[in-house]
Every structure is written in C-alpha cells, then in structure tokens.
C-alpha cells in the first residue's frame, strides 16, 4: 500500500513508464477519498512496481455490483527483463487480483484498456482473458436546421447540477434496456465526478430535450482531441427509442463546431446498438481483459457483455 512519502516516487515511476508526468490533482481525482486501490513493490527501499485501480459501480446483468477499473500499471525499466512468473509484473498483478477482484473480495469484476503488449503478456501468464475489443467508428457531421421535435442545451459546470434528477431518470431507463449486459453506472454522481469535476480535461456537454414535453431524453459529452484534430463522442445517455435522433443531433453539433466528422468508441459486441451510418470502422487496437487468475465469474459469462465507451477510460 502507498505510504505518506511514496507519492513523489510514484510520479517518477509514472514518468519513466509513460514518458510524461502525471499531475498531483489528476492522481488525487483517480485515487483519493477511497476511490482507488493501489499496490506497490519496493526493492532496496525504492518503488519498482505499481498496480492501481479505480472503483466503479456497475450494472451486472441488471444487478448492482462493484468493479475496479485497472490503470497505471508500472514496472521500473531495469526490472522488466523477467517476463515469467518470477517477474515483478506477474507478482504485482496476481497480488492485486487476489486481493481486490473476484468472489469474496469487494469487486466482482475488473476491466481496463491495456496496451496490446501488456494484454498479451497477462494472457500468456494466465492472469487475464480477452473478452471484447474497442472499435472506433467515424460518423460524418451534418448541416441541418434545428429539429421541430428536439432542441439542444449546452451544459456548463454551473448549470449541470440542475438536471441531476433528469439524468438519474434517464439512466434508470437506459439500465433497464441493458439487463443482459454489463456497464458502468452512469447516474449523476458518476457523471458529475467523471466529467464536470475533472481536474484536467475539458468536455463539451449537451442535453437533448423534447420540445413537446420538455423532458431530457438524451445527453452527449464530447472531447476535442488536439493531436488528431477531431471531436470524440466520449459518452451518451439515451434509450434505444431515441438513439438515432441523438446521434443526428451529435452530427449537427460537430458541424457547428467546424469539423466534418466525429469519433465514437464502443465495445465491438455492441456496435449494433449504434446507428449504422458511420462512414469508416476500424479497430482501436484496444482489447478488454477479464480476471482469470482469482476465482470470479467465468470469462465465458462475460465475453461480449461489456458495454464500454471512451468515457469509461481514465486517460481521455
């Protein structure tokens, strides 16, 4: 576990592992206030490995459960040579899974977005099984007049909380439609933490309301990716009945923002839930793993059941 003097060493290990620094505020957003779980390995008093995870409330086939999202798995460069069960990567991963994921632990499941290299190694060592992949869809923007059925309101941090009841109501309806799936709870508490309280990233959020009833029937959350010069639809709340209309409004928004297309990430098993109007589809080269080291739900029960979007990452 992390001690009071370990934070600087963790930050140094992060920079060595990923090539850039992590801010203290972002680390706190991830792990503080009992949101995260961390394990470290020290050698000669120096931190040489770290394995972290962030707690998530999930809907597991309609039942409320807890999961942990794996992130910030790091091993010092001079300790990476042993890629077998004697190595630090295996030791810290196995210890984390045994302590935090599976039956008789506080988290039924774990999930994450590992690099292909990390996933291949974990599968080879018998720690993970691959249960799905992330697919990247590109939708064209649309120049169109406002709809006579729906209208859009852009949210700010200052006015988002006014809609918390509407978001919770919309989430409950969406959750009912995903009784045969596994997905992270997207109630107001999560949305507020994930997007409106994020210490680093800026997001653009819009609600879609019915002009007739004035009810909130959809939520869109975008992020502009500077390197790719494109908008990504990070997350959305909507029922099946209105998903085509919501994506149409998303295409209008992106056109108004000056781009010709936008990107969506979704687990490959759930592409059919999205409008089939994308003009390109490609793999994001990200697979979704599941714990097979410590006793928990069999991977055959989980395969192709996760509903995940870009918003379920901790790095976007």
Select from 155, 254, 247 the least CA-distant residue to 203. 155
Domains and CATH numbers, the chain: 7-131+288-296 (3.40.630.30), 137-284 (3.40.630.30)
pLDDT the model gives residue 3: 61
* pLDDT digits 0-9 by tens, 93-145: 999 999 999 999 999 999 999 888 888 889 999 999 999 999 999 999 999 98
Q: Please name the residues in contact with 66: beta carbons below 8 A apart, sequence gap of 6 or more.
A: 55, 56, 57, 58, 106, 107, 108
Percent of the chain beyond pLDDT 70?
97
Burial class for 208, CB neighbours closer than 10 Å (0-12, 13-18, 19+) = buried
Residue whose entry in the numeric block shows the structure tokens 């003097």: 5
- Model pTM? 0.92
Give dist(CA 25, CA 45) in Å, integer: 26
Select from 275, 233, 237 the least CA-distant residue to 250. 233
Question: Contact 67/302 with Cβ under 8 angstroms?
Answer: no
* pLDDT digits 0-9 by tens, 266-315: 999 999 999 998 888 888 889 999 999 999 999 999 999 999 999 999 99
Which residues does residue 282 pair with via DSSP β-bridges, in sequence order?
A: 136
Residue whose entry in the numeric block shows the structure tokens 């991830």: 30
Give dist(CA 119, CA 290) in Å, integer: 10
Q: What is the number of alpha carbons within 13 Å of residue 160 lying toward its C-beta? A: 23
Retrieve residue 269's tokens. 């098993």
* pLDDT digits 0-9 by tens, 237-271: 999 999 999 999 999 999 999 999 999 999 999 99
């Amino acid at each position: 576990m992390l001690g009071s003097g370990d934070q600087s060493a963790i930050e140094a290990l992060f920079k060595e592992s990923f090539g850039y620094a992590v801010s203290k505020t972002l680390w706190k957003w991830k792990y503080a206030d009992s949101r995260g779980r961390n394990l470290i390995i020290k050698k000669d008093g120096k931190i040489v490995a770290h394995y972290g995870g962030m707690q998530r409330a999930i809907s597991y086939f309609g039942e409320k459960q807890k999961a942990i999202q794996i992130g910030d798995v790091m091993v010092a460069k001079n300790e990476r040579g042993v890629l077998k069960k004697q190595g630090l990567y295996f030791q810290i991963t196995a210890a984390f899974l045994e302590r935090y994921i599976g039956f008789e632990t506080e988290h039924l499941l774990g999930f994450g977005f590992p690099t292909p290299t990390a996933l291949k190694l974990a599968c080879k060592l018998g720690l993970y099984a691959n249960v799905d992949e992330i697919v990247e869809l590109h939708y064209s923007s649309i120049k169109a007049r406002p709809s006579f059925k729906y209208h859009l309101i852009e949210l700010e941090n200052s006015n988002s909380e006014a809609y918390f009841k509407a978001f919770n109501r919309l989430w409950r309806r969406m959750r009912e439609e995903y009784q045969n799936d596994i997905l992270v709870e997207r109630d107001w508490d999560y949305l507020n933490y994930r997007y409106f309280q994020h210490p680093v990233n800026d997001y653009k959020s819009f609600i879609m309301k019915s002009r007739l009833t004035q009810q909130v029937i959809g939520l869109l959350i975008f992020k502009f990716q500077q390197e790719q010069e494109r908008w990504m639809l990070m997350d959305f709340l909507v029922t099946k009945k209105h998903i085509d209309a919501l994506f149409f409004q998303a295409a209008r928004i992106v056109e108004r923002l000056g781009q010709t297309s936008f990107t969506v990430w979704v687990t490959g098993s759930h592409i059919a839930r999205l409008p089939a109007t994308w003009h390109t589809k490609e793999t994001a080269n990200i697979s979704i793993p599941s714990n097979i080291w410590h006793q928990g739900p069999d991977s055959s029960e989980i395969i192709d059941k996760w509903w995940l979007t870009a918003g379920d990452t901790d790095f976007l």
